[in-house]
Amino acid sequence: MRTLLRWEGRFTPADKAASDYVLLPFEVPPGIARLEVRYAFEGQGRPDAPSVIDLGLFDPRGTAFLEGEGFRGWSGSARAEAILTPRAATPGYIPGPIFPGRWHVILGLYRIAPEGCPVTVVVQGAEEEGPLPHPPPPPPAPFSPRPGPAWFRGDLQSHSHHSDAPGSLEDLVAAARRRGLDFLAVTEHNTVSHFPYLAAWSGPDLLLIPGEEVTTYYGHMNAWGLPRWLDFRCRTAEALRAVIAAAHAMGALVSINHPKTDGPPWEYPLALPVDAVEAWQGPWPLRNHESLAFWERLLRAGRRVVAVGGSDKHQDPPGEEMPFYQVGHPTTWVYAEALTVQGILDALRAGRVVITADVEGPWLTLTAERDDTTWGVGDAVPPGGPVRVRCRVEGGEGLHLRCLSRRGELAFVPVDRSPFEWTAVLDLGEHGYVRAELRGVRHFPEERPEDLPMVVMTNPIWGAPAP
């Protein structure tokens, strides 16, 4: 082992004010087959540490913003070391050639204590590959899609040990199969080291969608359907706008994640051209009324942004399972032409999306009818007179149906049988949109509709074609 870098320094709040990210260069001589990066900072590993510093790595192919061809991995503050060899790497890092030339350790200054934070970084190299730090990615398997069109149920946000979860990607995928999900987006923080495993383990029973949670210090954003890594190094609206454009150019969709207290919240402007909002993250009582209100503010401002759910499940360690917080809590249903990445992305983009608290349970159908035409969630009803809006609930006895438009609540009625129907004649040109919710049991008469837990929520039917 040769020491290629030994760096000791101290970061202050002034350093963070100047930049959230610091690059430390080091030279790799020819003939190196194993790199080991280790770092330490004051309070590392303590949840209450006043400073938090993240770790990542770039190879000589480059560090430029949005190009970042040299991206070789990111572990946030979840790991104190990363090992790379040609065939395998620590989860979060990308195996491959250890190119000779100038590499960079990247440190992310997430939080810096007022008195500053001492940091040590050591990089060592060896000519032998040595013991593999992780099983190498399996080769991609041929994929046969399940045909549609159909409602497919899945989960749009999850994490494994490729970022900060204690459990493995293998266990996360097995849990999704046990839960009977049709699709699972694995959205690791700022890295794509899980992509080859998804390509190998995806099947017609469970479609695995390559995702990345763009995890900035001012808000988190999912990107689904990425072919490769997407840069996350943003602190301004302009930088994030460029990242969103890059994601769209790659055919991916982006979603504002968990815009609520402790989400962490979204500090960027609302005007950014995101496709979706995670209006429901994890079990409903985790402040999801705030995320729903965030989405509804966008709707009332005239934005056609799709509401999605994501469990944000961080896979449990082996042998431990949180029964009330698993993948599929909540479940996002999309009406897609086929169970393929493109099929799911197209359906998400079209807003053909319903979110339910669990993988099984009551179902809520929202339609609008005029003459012989019926529209469903995500559709836009063209001008031409009022429509009959129909909410149909199956298996929801004891719950409450709520119907809303841009003007506010249109109905809040107890569901006393199954199937149950509520209809009204509305001019969607005046109402802008209509959407429906199924809310939980009312235990106290003073509980307001919006305080009851969500059981099912639909996306809107729109009042006119998108401009």
CB-based closest residue to Zn ion: 220
Binding residue for Zn ion, selected from 77, 85, 190, 257, defined by CB under 5 A: 257
Stretch that binds Zn ion, among 94-102, 165-173, 250-258, 336-344 (CB under 5 A): 250-258
Q: Is 91 helix (H, G, I), strand (E, B) or coil?
A: coil
Alpha carbons 309 and 323: distance in angstroms, whole number:
18
Q: What minimum distance in Å lies between the beta carbon of 171 and Zn ion?
A: 20
Q: Note whether 364 and 438 are within 8 A (CB).
A: yes
Strand order of the sheet with strand 117-126?
2-11, 117-126, 34-41, 81-84
Q: Which is nearer to Zn ion, 103 or 217 (CB)?
A: 217
Stretch that binds Zn ion, among 35-43, 235-243, 255-263, 457-465 (CB under 5 A): 255-263
Q: Which is nearer to Zn ion, 59 or 278 (CB)?
A: 278
**Segments of 173-251 assigned E as strands:** 183-189, 207-216, 219-224
Q: Which is nearer to Zn ion, 85 or 326 (CB)?
A: 326
Spell out, one character per residue from 86 to 115, where the chain touches Zn ion: x when CB under 5 A holds, - when not: ------------------------------
Q: Note whether 438 and 414 are within 8 A (CB).
A: no
User: What letter would DSSP give residue 453?
Assistant: P
Q: Which is nearer to Zn ion, 51 or 216 (CB)?
A: 216
Q: Which is nearer to Zn ion, 162 or 220 (CB)?
A: 220
Q: What minimum distance in Å lies between the beta carbon of 211 and Zn ion?
A: 12
Q: Which is nearer to Zn ion, 63 or 158 (CB)?
A: 158
Q: What minimum distance in Å lies between the beta carbon of 221 and Zn ion?
A: 9
Spell out, one character per residue from 185 to 224, where the chain touches Zn ion: x when CB under 5 A holds, - when not: -----------------------------------x----
Stretch that binds Zn ion, among 102-110, 122-130, 252-260, 300-308 (CB under 5 A): 252-260
Q: Note whether 162 and 133 are within 8 A (CB).
A: no
Sites for Zn ion among residues 129-188 (CB under 5 A): none
Stretch that binds Zn ion, among 99-107, 254-262, 295-303, 332-340 (CB under 5 A): 254-262
| Count of residues in contact with Zn ion, rule CB under 5 A | 2
Q: Which is nearer to Zn ion, 134 or 194 (CB)?
A: 194
Stretch that binds Zn ion, among 45-53, 249-257, 421-429, 442-450 (CB under 5 A): 249-257
Spell out, one character per residue from 274 to 313, where the chain touches Zn ion: x when CB under 5 A holds, - when not: ----------------------------------------
Q: Which is nearer to Zn ion, 36 or 312 (CB)?
A: 312
DSSP codes joined into one string, 417-445:
SSSEEEEEEE-HHHH-EEEEEEE----ST
132-135, Cβ contacts within 8 angstroms, sequence gap of 24 or more = 132/85, 132/87, 132/88, 133/83, 133/84, 133/85, 133/88, 133/89, 133/90, 134/88, 134/89, 134/90, 134/91, 135/88
Q: What's the first-to-final CA gap in the chain, in angstroms?
A: 62
Q: What minimum distance in Å lies between the beta carbon of 229 and Zn ion?
A: 17
Cβ burial 302-331 (10 Å sphere, 16+ → b, else e): eebbbbbbbbbbbbbeeeeeeeeebbbbbb
**E strand or H helix that includes residue 154:** strand 146-155
Alpha carbons 333 and 448: distance in angstroms, whole number:
27
Q: What minimum distance in Å lies between the beta carbon of 467 and Zn ion?
A: 31
Stretch that binds Zn ion, among 68-76, 113-121, 126-134, 251-259 (CB under 5 A): 251-259
Q: Is 68 helix (H, G, I), strand (E, B) or coil?
A: coil
Within 10 Å of residue 122's Cβ, how many Cβ atoms? 17
Q: Are strands 373-375 and 387-394 parallel, antiparallel or unpaired?
A: unpaired
The residue ranges that bind Zn ion (CB under 5 A) are 220, 257
